[in-house]
C-alpha cells in the first residue's frame, strides 16, 4: 500500500504492515528505515461514534543514539522517541531479564536513554525548507525521527 496506489484497502484491527519512510538524495545517498506496525483499536480523546483504529509498533529495536541529531527534534518528537524507547525497555527489557541475557539488557538500556525536552522551539517544515531533514520534521513517528537524524548525519 502506498500513497499513489489505486488499490484501495481499508485497515482492519489485527492487520500488520510495514512502515518504510525513506529519503533519497539523487546521486548522493539513500536511507530507508523499516518497522512493522499492527492495526489496533484505540480510545480517542473525544467520544465520537467509533470504533477508531491506530497503530502499534511491533518491531521493538532501538535506534542508534549517535545518529540522532537532537537539535532537529521538536518536543513532540522527543516525547514520541521517549515513548518508543520506554516501550522497548518495558517489553524487550523484561524478556531479556527473564532469559538472563544481561549483556543484551545493558546494551538495550544504553540505546534507549531518555531524551530531555528542548527549551527552544525547533523549526519545522513550515518555517524552514532549506535542508533535507526539515522536509520530514513534521512527522512524529519513531522511524521518521531516526530517518531525520540519519539524513542529517549523512548530509553533513
Print pLDDT tens along the chain (156 aa).
Answer: 555 667 677 889 999 999 888 888 899 888 777 889 999 999 888 878 878 999 988 989 998 888 888 888 889 989 989 999 999 999 999 999 999 999 999 999 999 999 988 775 545 544 443 444 433 444 445 555 566 556 555 555
- Residue 55 forms part of a structural domain: yes
Query: Which CATH number does the domain housing residue 36 bear?
Result: 3.90.230.10
- State the cell numbers at 149: 537524524
- Residue 136 forms part of a structural domain: yes
- Residue 141 forms part of a structural domain: yes
Strands (E), 22-114: 22-25, 29-32, 35-42, 52-57
Please count the residues of the chain: 156
- Residue 1 forms part of a structural domain: no
CA-to-CA distance for 74 and 91, rounded, in angstroms? 26
- Residue 9 forms part of a structural domain: no
- Residue 143 forms part of a structural domain: yes
The 8-class DSSP code of residue 122 comes to P
For the question of whether the overall pTM of this predicted structure is more than 0.75, the answer is no
144 φ, ψ to 5°? -65, -35
Its domain, for residue 65, covers: 16-155
Domain tally for the chain? Answer: 1
Amino acid at each position: 500500500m502506498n500513497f499513489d496506489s489505486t488499490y484501495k484497502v481499508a485497515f482492519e484491527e489485527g492487520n500488520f504492515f510495514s512502515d518504510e519512510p525513506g529519503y533519497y538524495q539523487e546521486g548522493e545517498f539513500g536511507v530507508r528505515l523499516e518497522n512493522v506496525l499492527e492495526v489496533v483499536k484505540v480510545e480517542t480523546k473525544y467520544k465520537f461514534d467509533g470504533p477508531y483504529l491506530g497503530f502499534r509498533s511491533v518491531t521493538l529495536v532501538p535506534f542508534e543514539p549517535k545518529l540522532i541529531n537532537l537539535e532537529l527534534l521538536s518536543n513532540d518528537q522527543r516525547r514520541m522517541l521517549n515513548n518508543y524507547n520506554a516501550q522497548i525497555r518495558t517489553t524487550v527489557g523484561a524478556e531479556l531479564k527473564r532469559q538472563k541475557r544481561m549483556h543484551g539488557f545493558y546494551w538495550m538500556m544504553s540505546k534507549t536513554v531518555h531524551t530531555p525536552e528542548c527549551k527552544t522551539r525547533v523549526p519545522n517544515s513550515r518555517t524552514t525548507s532549506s535542508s533535507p531533514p526539515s522536509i520530514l520534521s513534521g512527522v512524529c513517528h519513531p522511524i521518521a525521527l531516526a530517518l531525520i537524524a540519519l539524513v542529517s548525519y549523512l548530509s553533513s
